[in-house]
């Protein structure tokens, strides 16, 4: 029997197991741009599930910028940044992204990546490599995004960094472990806005701890960039943070509506990443037309339109906080566009998502390993393109569905 044949059987068995545990995920292809109404399987669904928080993914100015960028710069970059793929528009974008954080990070410089996943892997492994084998400790929040977790695992495997998990809602264990840590490089890593719960990390307290124990603080602001702060600069603006210990990660495919990500930090860290960051060095540069489009998006984010969009978004969040209530389901209202409803079992979450689909809504069930076992949920996300009426209609539908699911009507 050939090896390949065994592997095939294993794949079939593994997938069958996922089916049994109600953990199999299904792809759905949309036939429309990302927006608050989307076309799926010839049906129009009201979408409350994307991360397009400002409603920019289908914005006419950005569509035009992409077309114009392609005309000016072509389609592909053709090589990695250090070979010949680095365009002047990448440079302009990096300068603008650094300007967004300059009042929060002294000597801020930034580095653009094709995805947040890569930026996180690069930042974590790169920082740990500063110290050498066995010389770094990483403190990682238990509910961190998978890309941070993978960065931490890679740093641990490659550089023998020790890894300690902590609870971002109770920092006592973090302080306790740091107090006994004599390694030369200590790195605290966490989401700025937790992606499946929507709560905001207690950054001022974390920074105080980082200063006390001489640690770096890496904040992945994938869900705060564009959303938090008056100008949309993100979590550092929101908390008026100022420190050269901050390694800031922002992503550009969520509120910015386009694609890509960046690391922003004090200049010597960025120079080190250019020299030694393997994901940066060994990956083809993002098409310059994308960088050109992101530049336009940053203009919208900082400008009057961005301010208006954030005001409307925060108004929707207030309505959700005030008007949404359940009798049995657990609502954990946040101050961000991410609003989870924790349903517990995978079966409950799938049943609720199916009833929502029948009512014309697209809100998928989020299950392990994306969230801890027993905390399957609906993850509702709000966008500046939703109207107040859209939101009120959703609230009414969710309350009806709760009654159906908790009364055990077959889904």
Ligand X SMILES: *Cc1c(COP(=O)(O)O)cnc(C)c1O
Task: Give contact residues for ligand X (rule: CB under 6 A).
Answer: 115-117, 120, 145, 147, 191, 195, 220, 222-223, 251, 253, 261
Closest CA to 201 of 166, 233, 177: 166
Contact status, residue 192 vs residue 203, Cβ threshold 8 Å: yes
The least CB distance from residue 145 to ligand X, in Å, is 3
Contact status, residue 186 vs residue 215, Cβ threshold 8 Å: yes
Of the two residues 55 and 348, which places its CB atom closer to ligand X in the complex?
A: 55
Taking the C-alpha atoms of residue 353 and residue 411, their distance in angstroms, rounded to an integer, is 9
Q: How many CB atoms lie within 10 A of CB 112?
A: 24
DSSP assignment of 281-330? HTSBPPPHHHHHHHHHHHHHHHSHHHHHHHHHHHHHHHHHHHH---SSSE
The least CB distance from residue 313 to ligand X, in Å, is 17
> Which residues lie closer than 8 Å to 350 by C-beta, 6 or more apart?
22, 365, 367, 376, 411
Element (H, E) at 208: helix 203-212
Contact status, residue 34 vs residue 56, Cβ threshold 8 Å: no
Using only the alpha carbons of the chain, give its radius of gyration. Answer: 22
Closest CA to 258 of 238, 287, 285: 287
Of the two residues 104 and 145, which places its CB atom closer to ligand X in the complex?
A: 145
Contact status, residue 20 vs residue 366, Cβ threshold 8 Å: no
The least CB distance from residue 179 to ligand X, in Å, is 28
Of the two residues 117 and 269, which places its CB atom closer to ligand X in the complex?
A: 117
Of the two residues 189 and 401, which places its CB atom closer to ligand X in the complex?
A: 189
Of the two residues 294 and 356, which places its CB atom closer to ligand X in the complex?
A: 294
Of the two residues 225 and 362, which places its CB atom closer to ligand X in the complex?
A: 225
Of the two residues 69 and 253, which places its CB atom closer to ligand X in the complex?
A: 253
The least CB distance from residue 320 to ligand X, in Å, is 20
The least CB distance from residue 146 to ligand X, in Å, is 8
The least CB distance from residue 158 to ligand X, in Å, is 20
The least CB distance from residue 368 to ligand X, in Å, is 17
User: What is the Cα 241 distance to its own chain's centre?
Assistant: 20
The least CB distance from residue 405 to ligand X, in Å, is 27
User: Nearest residue by C-beta to ligand X?
Assistant: 116
Of the two residues 145 and 310, which places its CB atom closer to ligand X in the complex?
A: 145
Taking the C-alpha atoms of residue 131 and residue 109, their distance in angstroms, rounded to an integer, is 21
Exposure on the CB side of residue 133, measured as CA atoms within 13 A: 2
The least CB distance from residue 223 to ligand X, in Å, is 6
Q: Classify residue 358 by burial, with Cβ atoms within 10 Å: 0-12, 13-18, 19+.
A: exposed
Of the two residues 253 and 277, which places its CB atom closer to ligand X in the complex?
A: 253
């Amino acid at each position: 029997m050939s090896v390949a044949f065994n592997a095939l059987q294993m794949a079939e068995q593994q997938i069958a197991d996922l089916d049994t545990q109600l953990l199999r995920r299904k792809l759905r292809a949309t036939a429309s741009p990302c927006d608050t109404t989307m076309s799926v399987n010839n049906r129009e669904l009201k979408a409350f599930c994307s991360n397009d928080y400002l409603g920019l993914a289908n914005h006419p100015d950005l569509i035009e910028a992409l077309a114009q960028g392609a005309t000016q710069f072509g389609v592909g970059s053709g090589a990695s940044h250090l070979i010949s793929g680095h365009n002047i528009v990448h440079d302009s974008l990096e300068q603008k992204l650094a300007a967004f954080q300059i009042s929060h990070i002294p000597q801020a410089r930034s580095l653009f990546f094709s995805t947040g996943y890569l930026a996180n892997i690069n930042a974590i492994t790169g920082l740990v490599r500063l110290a050498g084998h066995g010389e770094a400790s990483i403190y990682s929040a238990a509910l961190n995004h998978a890309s941070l977790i993978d960065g931490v695992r890679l740093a641990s495997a490659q550089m023998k960094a020790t890894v300690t998990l902590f609870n971002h809602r109770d920092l006592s264990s973090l302080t306790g472990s740091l107090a006994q840590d004599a390694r030369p490089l200590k790195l605290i890593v966490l989401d700025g806005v937790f992606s499946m719960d929507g709560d905001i990390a207690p950054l001022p307290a974390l920074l105080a701890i980082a200063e006390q124990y001489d640690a770096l603080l890496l904040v992945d602001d994938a869900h705060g960039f564009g959303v938090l702060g008056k100008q949309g600069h993100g979590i550092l603006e929101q908390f008026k943070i100022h420190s050269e210990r901050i390694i800031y990660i922002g992503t550009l495919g969520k509120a910015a509506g386009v694609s890509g990500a960046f690391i922003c930090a004090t200049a010597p860290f960025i120079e080190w990443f250019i020299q030694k960051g393997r994901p940066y060095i060994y990956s083809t540069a993002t098409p310059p037309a994308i960088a050109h489009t992101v530049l336009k998006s940053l203009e919208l984010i900082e400008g009057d339109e961005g301010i208006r969009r954030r005001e409307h978004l925060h108004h929707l969040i207030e309505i959700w906080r005030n008007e949404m209530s359940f009798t049995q389901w657990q609502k954990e209202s946040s101050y961000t566009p991410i609003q989870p409803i924790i349903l517990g079992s995978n079966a409950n979450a799938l049943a609720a998502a199916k009833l929502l689909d029948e009512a014309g809504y697209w809100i998928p069930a989020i299950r392990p390993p994306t969230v801890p076992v027993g905390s399957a949920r609906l993850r509702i996300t709000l966008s500046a393109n939703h109207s107040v009426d859209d939101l009120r209609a959703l609230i009414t539908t969710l309350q009806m569905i709760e009654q159906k699911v908790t009364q055990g009507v077959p889904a």
